[in-house]
Amino acid sequence: MTRTARTLALVLSATIATASPLAAQVPFSRLAAAERDSANWLTYSGSYSGQRFSRLAQVNRTNVAALRPVWLHQLQNTQFMAEATPLVADGVMYVSETMSAVTALDVRTGRTLWRYAPTIPPTTKWIGFLPTSRGVALLDSTVYLATINAHLIALDARSGTVRWDVEVADNKLGYAFTLAPLAIKGKILVGVSGGEAGIRGFIDAYDATTGKLAWRFHTIPGSGEPGNETWGGDSWKTGGGPTWLTGAFDPELNTVYWGVGNPGPDWNGDSRPGDNLYTCSLVALDADTGKLKWHFQFTPHDTHDWDANQIPVLVDATVNGARRKLVLTANRNAFYYALDRVTGEFIGGRDYAKQTWSTGLDATGKAQVIPGKEPSDSGTLVWPSLQGATNWNSPAYSPRTNLFYVNAREMGSYYYKREAEYEPGNPFMGGGERALENDSASGAVRALEPLTGKMRWEFRHHSPPWAGLMATAGGLVFSGSNEGNFFALDASTGKALWQFQTGGFIRAAPITYMVDGKQRVAIVSNNAVIVFALP
């Protein structure tokens, strides 16, 4: 063997030894055990439980102050701000961009492996939101993307080529996708946006291999179905109930937990007398059939656009000496709720941010409404604003501290009631707000006791936050700010331990994973993916 050949052989063997497959193989069994697979970030909320908790502890309270950027990747679509949670599997990062593009990156270097940008017709409608994409789903060797023009697309994880593409709903009527799909056993679940366009919301499950519809759950019951009587006249047909954020899944109970958004028209409830089920509710569905197991409505007959789409968080806890399976949620209406996730029974809760519309929750978890807080002709001042006390920004839960973390927004708003006339594919809102911005509006990362919602600590923001949270076994909570700070707090006390000025608005949630035996932390800031590690 010549010297050159020997060198080549050595190089080849070294390459093979360190090469990762550079394409994901993520069977359902891996997703179901994602909590234990800390080296990767396999699904939107890190695991099916929605906890956004990582067992990684290499970066921790004692050394986080040394965290430094490793690489930065600038996404190509820059007209709007990204809100994506990247996924990481087997050496590849999959990050979605605004206008429904997906880029696969070499997780070690940030170099692009492939990029897929679907054709989004210029006539595509997004009524009441921006054409963002909060992430993708992985199952086996496929990446699933839900697009702004209401398609669900399956991509080959190795190359980004299309395996199938189905039109889920008619975008001309205002149906659209902004969420990361949820991959469960053999099925891909999606929920729609369009609550300001008079859609009739649903949650769909598609066969992961063929793209064939497996089941559909309408968030507004049809004529003759239980719950339809909570809508006056034909108002249910254009009643909204969007499902625009990713749900949680309990494989043991085979149950999907998903939040449902506002009734339509948003701020003028005259045409829809009644509680308007299942808007502003959490629904528990059988994962095989989509059949409703139970529901809990947080804001009956909502007229403030307080969607209940926030990420549900599944936690097991001891309640009065008995182990209970719970689902926790900090709602847009400013109340925190702990529910039994087997039955939907209310366990505890209270307000976690400033609100002026309710005297509190009764023993069943129903908010006691103060009269006169409805939107009006001249404007009615109410806290929280229509953006709510929280919004799409993911919460987190740490089993180590046993605390629930939420980025709370505190801002009042004048709510107006206006005309509402349904025209297919047009705004159907009946009013709106004028928010009290300025320095009177603010927010905080708040740590809540999981059974009661009682606040243990807070870290004050400069302005009402839009970033998600992540908790780690390193005793840290990571989040970001509108002003560009990416930061780490002590998970037990809320003390700030590290911050980095990213130079862009942070509207996404952090993730963490391992590369070459070292923990990395990543965040999307404006349209840049920034990855950090210890020196």
Note the residues at the interface with other proteins (CB under 8 A).
81, 125-130, 193, 195-196, 242, 244, 261-262, 266-267, 305, 307, 309, 377-379, 385-387, 391-392, 416, 418-421, 426-427, 429, 431-435, 437-439, 441, 459-464, 466, 481-485, 487, 496, 499, 501, 503-505, 507
Min CB(406)–other proteins separation in Å:
16
Distance CA 391, CA 494 (A): 21
Distance CA 413, CA 415 (A): 6
Contact 155, 165 (CB under 8 A): no
Distance CA 96, CA 439 (A): 33
Min CB(2)–other proteins separation in Å:
59
Q: Which of 384, 275, 399 is nearest to 328 (CA)?
A: 399
Distance CA 82, CA 88 (A): 17
Distance CA 88, CA 278 (A): 34
Q: Is 288 tagged catalytic?
A: no
Q: Which is nearer to other proteins, 125 or 520 (CB)?
A: 125
**For 139, left (φ over 0), alpha (ψ -120 to 50), or beta?**
beta
Q: Which is nearer to other proteins, 196 or 374 (CB)?
A: 196
- The position carrying tokens 């807080």 is 373
Distance CA 283, CA 467 (A): 25
Q: Which is nearer to other proteins, 309 or 333 (CB)?
A: 309
Min CB(437)–other proteins separation in Å:
4
Min CB(47)–other proteins separation in Å:
25
Min CB(63)–other proteins separation in Å:
19
Q: How far is CA 342 from the centre of its chain?
A: 22
User: What distance separates the 2 farthest-apart alpha carbons in the chain?
Assistant: 89
Min CB(370)–other proteins separation in Å:
22
Q: Which is nearer to other proteins, 365 or 432 (CB)?
A: 432
- Other CB atoms within 10 Å distance of the CB of residue 437: 13
Catalytic residue among 266, 275, 302, 305: 305
Q: Which is nearer to other proteins, 49 or 132 (CB)?
A: 132
Burial class (CB in 10 A: 0-12, 13-18, 19+), 318: exposed
- Burial readout 5-39 (b: 16 or more C-beta within 10 A, e: otherwise): eeeeeeeeeeeeeeeeeebbebebebbbebeebbb
Show the tokens assigned to 341.
């996730």
- DSSP state, residue 228: G
CA 261-221-299 angle, to 5 degrees, is: 35
Distance CA 75, CA 70 (A): 17
Q: Which is nearer to other proteins, 38 or 98 (CB)?
A: 98
Give the H/E segment covering residue 3. Answer: helix 3-18
Min CB(304)–other proteins separation in Å:
11
3-state helix, strand, coil in the chain (%, to 5): 10, 40, 55
Min CB(372)–other proteins separation in Å:
17
Q: Which is nearer to other proteins, 90 or 307 (CB)?
A: 307
Q: Which is nearer to other proteins, 91 or 263 (CB)?
A: 263
Look at residue 439 and give its three-state secondary structure.
helix
Strand partners of residue 488: 478, 498
Give the H/E segment covering residue 351. Answer: strand 346-351
Backbone angles phi, psi at 417, to 5 degrees: -105, 130
Min CB(33)–other proteins separation in Å:
32
The 3-class SS string of 4-41 reads HHHHHHHHHHHHHHHCCCCCCCECHHHHHCHHHCCCCE
Distance CA 126, CA 532 (A): 34
Q: Which is nearer to other proteins, 227 or 427 (CB)?
A: 427
Min CB(127)–other proteins separation in Å:
5
- The position carrying tokens 């050949």 is 5
Q: Which is nearer to other proteins, 265 or 450 (CB)?
A: 265
Catalytic residues: 305
